Every structure is written in C-alpha cells, then in structure tokens.
Amino acid sequence: MPEKIAYPVEIAAPDIAPYRQGNTGVDYVTTLDSGRPGPHVMIAAVVHGNELCGPITLDFLFRNEVRPRRGKLTLGFLNVAAFLAFDPARPEASRWIDEDFNRVWDVGVLEGPRDSVELRRARAIRPVIDTVDYLLDLHSMQHVSAPLMLCGPLEKGRRFAREVGFPEHAMSDAGHAAGRRLRDYAGFGDAASPKNALLVECGQHWATESIGVARETTLRFLACFDMIDPAFLARHVAVAPPPKQKMIEVTGRVTIRTESFRFTQPFTGLEVIDRAGTVIGWDGDEEIRTPYDGCVIVMPSQRLFPGQTAVRFGRLID
C-alpha cells in the first residue's frame, strides 16, 4: 500500500486579527462599497482552516487597499475557528473543527436541527452570502498538482470559468456525496439564477507557488467585472495571456465505503490512464477500475475514510 505523502510547510499563516470587526455585523467579513452601480462580488478564504493561500490573498488585498471600481466587494474569512487552530507542526489537523465547512451548504442542513462549530459559522455568514451575485472560493489541495478551477456541472459555470481564463485546467463536476459545497449553494448552483460561483484549487496547501495562483486568479476574477484598477492589475498579473483553458468533465466519483481503501500508487492528480478497466485502487476487496480510455484522475484524496470522496474520474472536453 503506498505511503501517505508528507509535504513541507513553506508558507506562514497571516495575522487576520486586524480584520475581525469588519463592517457587516459578521466577524471577519468586510464589504467594500464603491458607491457605483455594479454586482456584489465576494472572495472567500479558509473554508478549510489549513489552506493558507486564501487568507494570504485577502491580506494582500487589504494591505494594498484594493477597492472596487464599481459595485461591492466582500472579503470573507469563513471557517475562522479552524484557521486560528492551524499549527505548522500538525498542518493537517485544522482542516475543520467538527465537520467539513464545505459540505454543509444545503438549505435543509442549514435550517435543520444539527449543530457544529462549522454550521454555526455558516448560519452566521449565510445572510451575507445570500446578497452575493458572484463568488470566488479560494482553496488548495493535498498534493502537488496543477491548479484547477472547479466550475460546477452547469453550462453557466463552465462559461464563467472560461471568462476568467485562469488557471489552465478547469473541472466541471457535481460536487460530493457527503454534502453540498458553498460553490453550489442556492442560486450559484441553479441554472435559472443569474448568480454564479467558482472554486479554485491553487496548488498544494503549503507550497509557495499556491500564493501566486490564488492572487492571479483573484485579480483576473475581479477584472471580469471591471472592479480592479487596470494599473494595479498590470503590476501583479503576468502580461502574457494564460494558456488556453482545458476543461475536464467529471463523469463520476468514488465514494469510500470501507475502512480499508487504498490506491495502487501515489496518484497526485491529472494523471491520464490510457486503458479502460485499469485497476487504480481497492475499497476493501472491491477493485476500483477506470471507466473508459483516457480517464483523468482528478483530486485523489489522502483522507481515505468512509463517506468521503476518494477520487473523481474525468475526461477532457472541448
């Protein structure tokens, strides 16, 4: 059985205490209003407490006094309890406190009887989220892998990812069996709604390179709405256009059923398995095989316990 890969912590968590009060009535959530007509756009960070490129990017925006040229811009540190528990000596331990903050965004769950640190925070933030037209949710990944934009299963999400145009790889998928993501909450995941959202996986959690990806994605996202000063954008985004985006359509996912899931090798993501029927792992005694030729391995997990997504299968589409 392949050993779990351990990665060094190359970056430091920023001090977010100066942003606690905000101006929305919700701690660590600030809305900047241009006073001019335009959309309400939100940049979200630390949905998972051990993902550092997001809060570093929000800190960068605050420190540079970035203000929207039109509409409103909300900057939100979300699962703050988990983030404040981050310890570089145990960097995996603070992903969440009680449960995954990115699996609770179903209306029935939010309005139901369950209780957790994450649900209480989600319920507090929800009134702000409900006013947002366009959301960018900054994340990072367990493995060293090419950055990946997650745009959901709808054509409006795929179109939005192409408009941002960065990073090079985008993934169209329906989320997780374990619960609804913020990216798919309410109007974001409704084909009839004009609201839209993207989630970007910027690279390995604690790799220096993930910071640059988070920053550039954020600035290109804001540029789509003419919300960022062009001179500031030019100073912080590469002049050369990014490579043409490659869209991966996720056709299925493997949800873990037993306590003994393991892969055949240490997949890190975006590997292409040439032949259908290739065994890539086992769930107990059950073989996990690729469903078709040219199958893309998408975001394989190291958190291999029942109910979680082990891996997604995808294929490149035009």
pLDDT of residue 240: 73
Question: Who's near 167: CB < 8 A, 6+ residues apart?
Answer: 146, 147, 148, 149, 200, 202, 213, 217, 242, 245
- Sorted by where each begins, the domain ranges of the chain are 17-244, 248-317
- Give the model's confidence band at 4: pLDDT under 50 very low, under 70 low, under 90 confident, else very high: low
DSSP structural state of residue 179? B
The CA distance from 245 to 164, in Å, is 10
pLDDT of residue 303: 79
The CA distance from 231 to 233, in Å, is 5
Query: Which one is the CATH code of 248-317: 3.30.750.24, 3.90.1150.10, 1.10.3720.10, 2.40.50.100?
Result: 2.40.50.100
The CA distance from 180 to 173, in Å, is 12
Q: What pTM did the predictor assign?
A: 0.90
Instruction: Judge whether residue 241 has pLDDT over 80.
Output: no
pLDDT digits (tens, 9 = 90+) for 72-81: 999 999 999 9
Cis peptide before 167 (omega within 30 of 0): yes
pLDDT of residue 201: 97
What is the number of other CB atoms lying within 10 angstroms of the CB of residue 284? 11
pLDDT of residue 1: 45
Sheet with 134-141: strands ordered across: 29-33, 72-77, 40-45, 134-141, 196-204, 148-150, 169-172, 246-255, 309-317, 295-298, 272-273
- Taking residues 300-314, report their average pLDDT: 89
pLDDT of residue 176: 76
Lookup result for tokens 């959901």: 152
pLDDT digits (tens, 9 = 90+) for 65-105: 999 999 999 999 999 999 999 999 999 999 999 999 999 99
What is the number of other CB atoms lying within 10 angstroms of the CB of residue 180? 21
User: Residue 58, Cα to own-chain centre: how many angstroms?
Assistant: 14
Identify any residues that bridge with 314 across adjacent strands, giving them in sequence order. 250, 296
Which class for 163: exposed (0-12), middle (13-18), buried (19 or more C-beta within 10 A)? middle
pLDDT of residue 27: 98
The CA distance from 205 to 51, in Å, is 5
- Taking residues 135-146, report their average pLDDT: 93
Instruction: Judge whether residue 3 has pLDDT over 60.
Output: no
CATH class of 17-244: alpha beta
The CA distance from 182 to 137, in Å, is 8
Sheet with 261-263: strands ordered across: 261-263, 279-283, 286-289
Identical fold, 17-244 and 248-317: no
- Taking residues 224-236, report their average pLDDT: 95
